Structure 1
Amino acid sequence: MVQLLTNSSQFTCIPNSTKSQENFNTTSKSRNILPLLKGCTHLVQFKQIHAQIIKTSFNEFAITQTQLAKLVESLVNSSQIDYARLVLNQIINPSIFAFNTMIRGYSEAGLGHEAIQLYIHMRCKGLEPDNFTYPILLKACGSLKQGKAVHSLVAKNQDFKSEIHSLTCLIAFYCGFGDIESARLLFDKMAERNVVTWTAMINGYVKQNRYKGGIDLFYQMRNCGVEINELTLVCVLSACANLGALEMGKWVHRFIDKNGIFFNHKLGAAVIDMYAKCGHIDEASKVFKILPVKSVCTWNSMIGGLAMHGCGEEALERFGEMQTRGIEPDDITLIAVLSACSHSGLVEKGKEIFYKMRSDYKIELNIKHYGCLIDLLCRAGLLDEAYEVVKNMPMEPNGVLWGTLLTACANSNVVELGETAMEHLIELEPFNDGNYVLMSNIYAANERWDDVARMRRLMKERQIEKSPGHSLIEINNVVHEFMVGDVRHRCSQDIYSMLEDVAISLKKEGYTR
């Protein structure tokens, strides 16, 4: 084995020789090491190839530099980041490819600061970025401020300020940090957009729970004649599921069938989830049965849908069938199963599954699993047992868990435990109006009017306003949103007039409020 000195200062630098370069075909020579690099599985093997490159590098400067760049790429792909940087430091005139590869390596390793510093070093060497540099650099950004700095670099560069790939990555970056407004502003200014751009923007709306905005943008995408791919459809189906937009979801399902789009596991899971959340569990079951490929996420959607509809026994049957077919459940599967037990009142079965998760399914308990158990106990009226679980959890309970307990206390008019939950919620979610309303209702049910007034004063002091109720309705594939006392809708006068007519008709039939 050839011994290699890993200190970059001890690497031999090969002098440039123009005459020698003319006698070699750089591309074909550099390819000779590619099969060897692909077969490497250990750092020792990479070092052997590195030593061989140096050993055979006389009078082949250009070939050596190309081979070293390929070595950097292979090291990065094998997560050998430190050694990859040593090799990069050896290259006399690193190419933009070598720098991009190393920046990507740092980004994927979570070393964003090092990636940004390397970009600065690259620019100091006078090297110009290419189409891949800024998208790679964006992945290294750990804050919105850093991403905006990259955006400014793209905007200043005449070659990239209209380059679709870089701008699309910027949109995805802004969406990932929840800045939908900046993403949409950039999206609207783009002279050219492709399916990836549209999908990134729609996905941004969906991820930020702005489902109506995602569906509205999808309508625009269809009207512009842009091709629609599987990821676009998954995003739209997710929006339909959360809005209850059944007609739009059905249109997507028909579109898939009409265009012969392959029902991969993600698309299949999205269709099942859409039908289940829109109240059509039978349609979800039909889709599940005909799917050519069923992965764990497909099973999760079906079990979760059955759980949502209170079909606990059937959900458990599917869970058993899933394991019989050799599909290993994951942590999401167990959340769906525990939810099925909760919605169907299968308390003992749910507790049995929860306490055997680690031993039987090799799944570590997380806070969502504890949330399911607490919900199961609260629905069964076992508030003291639920409180004991909250107190003895291995992790700190969050606002969702305390909120579940508070809701159960409101349903049972339990004051003391409700106050305990509320104390924690005031710290965790000080501006959540729903918690104050629930606690106020508990006091009111127990005729503790002074405490009701105290809750209202506390809300007023903190300038917390109760969120108005709202509802959504889908008509002719268009989702309309209404809030209490809302008069913004263009048909509001007709709607209120019709509601008044309905109220009058109900009174005539003997119905009273």
Structure 2
Amino acid sequence: MLKVSAANRLPSPSKGSKQPAAPTSNNDYNPSHLQILKKCTHLIQFKQVHAQIIKTSLQNQADRHLSKLIEALVGSANLPYACLVFDQITQPSTFAFNTMIKGYGTNNLGRKGVYLYSQMRFQGLNPDNFTYPFLLKACNGLKQGKGVHSLVVKYKTFSLEIHSLTSLITFYCSFGDVESARLLFDRMPEKNVVTWTGIITGYVKQKRYKEGIELFYQMKNSGVEINELTLVCVLSACANLGALEIGKWVHEYTNRKRIFLNPKLGAALIDMYAKCGHIDKASQVFQTVPCKGVYVWNAMIGGLAIHGYGIEAIDRFMEMQGSGVKPDGITLIAVLSACSHSGLVEKGKEIFHSMRKDYEIEPNIKHYGCLVDLLCRAGLLNEAYEVIINMPMEPNAVLWGTLLNACAATTNVELAEAAMQQLMVLEPSNDGNYVLISNIYAAKKRWDDVARIRKILKDGQIVRNPGHSLIEVDNIVHEFMIGDGRHPCSEEIYDMLEKVTLTLKEQSGRLWNCLGASKC
């Protein structure tokens, strides 16, 4: 620890104060020191270093040392004091401006960061490789981000710079503009693992899983080293597509490369196996994860839930608490879902009503959704309706849709109409809701109401979305829709389907003939 000489040290906090003194060492204070900043943990320590810089640094050194102080302050979440130090610098460097822009962006004060960039350019300072990535983090909308993109293009120094372009791709993906990100990505002459992971993540977050996996294959073939973040993202796509073979390849890759199974990667593997129908394999992975954080427990409990192993999920929930891991909101969603899928109505209601008291978790709309689903699956539709109308927040389309689906199974017209009335406001173009209510009316032979629903569909030009299915063959995910002719092998597929249909008819005819002969 660096020692500040008695002559130069600021007064220590008063006796009994909990605020620590500045770090010390066996050497007298050196104006060029920077190591001391890494050892500061409290604002008063930074202030003491600040005083020493002002008192002992030469004029040509002071600004550089203050810039480093700003960097340390921003990194320690002391942005207000960093602003005061920045204002004290007579000639801020690009480094100082970058650091402050980064600080504003990290603290959701993007407007100040953008304004600071304008000041920097007004003072005649040129940006460097870090300026635009930091500035992008300060942007709060696509319009601002595109403005930064134009600046990157304007300065040809950065138009091919991988760090700036990768930041742009990440920015576009964060705002859901995958098309702009992809255009930029395809034009990049050089791509690193961060670039590839950024674009793949963008597709997966937009639920364009198939395209995300296709990009992953391109990444593999490009020779770029794959990291844990890439694998977590790909496993998420595999889980949602049911692409088991690709997911197994990722698992084998982690073993082959001896990649540490951290909690996020372990949870992603468990989730993938569970959603692909292999809960036993998910359980095996769960046992091998060395650090079972809350993500890992949530994935295992959620996997057991979707497979209908409610008792086992609750046992894991209790085991989780016994191991010292505190449940979070997602844990409770998984447990309530387990109760719902296994018909454990009373247990689910008990857990829901104990959330605040036992787990200090305020139920949100997803928890209420689980409770409504639990009651609807048990046929307690009136109780589910009471929960929906009395919950402390506005019910969303998911809750009303859950009730409508349950009404379709019991042909409860009164509650179905109440749910549909809300859904026509929340989801006016969702064709599935109209089909459900129409089927409920048809089951009750209320043909006038069926005709009325069809007229609403026609007048509103609400198009029925065709059903589709996915199948994985040789590590390639194929998507099919009703009457689909887009697949390159569609003619061969339809020919084979026709042959299978004819064969089934022939076999069926022979079976009936045999049955008829046996009766004779």
TM-based fold match above 0.5: yes
* Secondary structure, aligned partner of 1:472: strand
Q: Deviations over 1:382-440 (max 9, x none)?
A: 11111111111111111111111111112211111111111211221222222222222
SS at structure 2 position matched to 1:151: helix
Give 1:53's aligned residue. Answer: 53
Aligned pair in 2 of structure 1 residues 30, 460: CA closer, same or farther (>3 Å)? farther
**Residue in 1 that maps onto 2:471:** 473
Give the one of 26, 29, 32 matched to 1:30: 32
Q: Given that residues 296 and 327 in structure 1 are in contact (C-alpha distance below 8 angstroms), is that contact kept between their aligned partners in structure 2?
A: yes
Distance 1:304 1:311 in 2: 10
Within the alignment, does 1:41 sit opposite 2:38 as a pair?
Answer: no
Which one of the candidate residues 245, 248, 257 is aligned to 1:247?
A: 245
What does residue range 485-496 of structure 1 map to in structure 2 within 5 Å? Answer: 485-496=483-494
1:300 paired residue among 298, 301, 305? 298
Q: Which amino acid aligns with 2:133?
A: P
Q: How does 1:37-186 map to 2 (within 5 A)?
A: 38-42=39-43, 44-57=44-57, 60-186=58-184
CA distance in 2, matches of 1:251, 1:348: 41
Whole-angstrom distance in 1 between the partners of 2:459 and 2:91: 64
CA distance in 1, matches of 2:346, 2:54: 68
CA distance in 2, matches of 1:36, 1:225: 40
The partner residue of 1:506 within 504, 508, 518 is 504
- What corresponds to 2:185 in structure 1? 187
Tell me, in whole angstroms, the C-alpha distance in 2 between the residues paired with 1:390 and 1:38. Answer: 53
Aligned-pair CA distance for 1:40: 4.0
Aligned to 1:278: 276
Indicate if the aligned counterparts of 2:31 and 2:56 stay in contact, CA closer than 8 A.
no
Q: In structure 1, what is the Cα distance between the partners aligned to 2:507 and 2:62?
A: 91
Contact 2:304 2:313 in 1 (8 A): yes
What whole-Å deviation, never above 9, does each CA across 1:429-478 have from its counterpart, x for those lacking one? 22222222222222222222222222222222222101000000111001
SS at match of 1:233: helix
The answer for the alignment partner of 1:217 in structure 2 is: 215
- The CA distance in 2 between the partners of 1:220 and 1:200, in whole Å, is 14
Q: Distance in 2 between matches of 1:450 and 1:435?
A: 18
Structure 2: which amino acid aligns with 1:115?
G
For 2:469, what is the secondary structure of its paired residue? strand
Partner of 1:15: none
> Take 2:142 and 2:105, find their aligned partners in 1: how far apart are those partners?
16
| SS of structure 1 residue aligned to 2:445 | coil
Task: Determine what percentage of the aligned residue pairs are the same residue.
Answer: 66
Whichever residue aligns with residue 30 of structure 1, its letter is S
| 2:40/2:46 contact within 8 Å kept | no
User: 2: distance between equivalents of 1:377 and 1:74?
Assistant: 54
1:386 to 363, 366, 384: 384
Q: Compute the displacement of 1:293 (Å).
A: 2.1
Q: Which moved more, 1:428-437 or 1:269-278?
A: 428-437
Change (3 A) 1:182 1:504: same
Q: Give, in angstroms, the shift of residue 320 of structure 1.
A: 1.1
2:33 alignment partner AA: R
Q: Structure 1 residues 502-511 or 249-258, which shifts more?
A: 502-511
Asked if structure 2 preserves the Cα contact closer than 8 Å seen for 1:30 and 1:66, the reply is no
Match runs of 1:197-216 below 5 Å: 197-216=195-214
How many Å apart are 1:239 and its aligned residue?
0.7
Consecutive unaligned residues of structure 2, counting only runs of 5 or more, are: 1-8, 12-28, 512-520
Are 2:37 and 2:69, in contact at CA under 8 Å, matched by a contact in 1?
Answer: no
> 2: distance between equivalents of 1:411 and 1:141?
49
- 1:180 Cα shift? 0.9
1:259 match: 257
- State how far apart, in whole Å, the 2-side matches of 1:49 and 1:424 are: 62
Contact 2:339–2:374 (8 Å) recurs in 1 = yes
Q: Deviations over 1:184-214 (max 9, x none)?
A: 1000000000111111111111110000001
Q: Where does residue 450 of structure 2 map in the other structure?
A: 452
> How many equivalent residue pairs?
485
Task: Tell me if structure 2 keeps the 8 A contact 1:37–1:71.
Answer: no
RMSD: 1.9
**Corresponding letter in the other structure for 1:51:** A
Q: Deviations over 1:280-330 (max 9, x none)?
A: 111111111122221110111111000000000111111111111111111
**Residues in 1 aligned to 2:180 and 2:293: alpha-carbon distance in whole angstroms:** 36
| Pairwise CA distance, 1:372 | 0.6
Match of 2:19 in 1: none
Decide whether the 8 Å contact of 1:37 with 1:46 is kept in 2: no
Which range moves more in the overlay, 353-362 or 445-454?
445-454
Name the SS for the 2:31 alignment partner: helix
Deviation at 1:66, TM superposition (A): 1.8
Aligned twin of 2:16: none
Residue type of the partner of 2:55? K
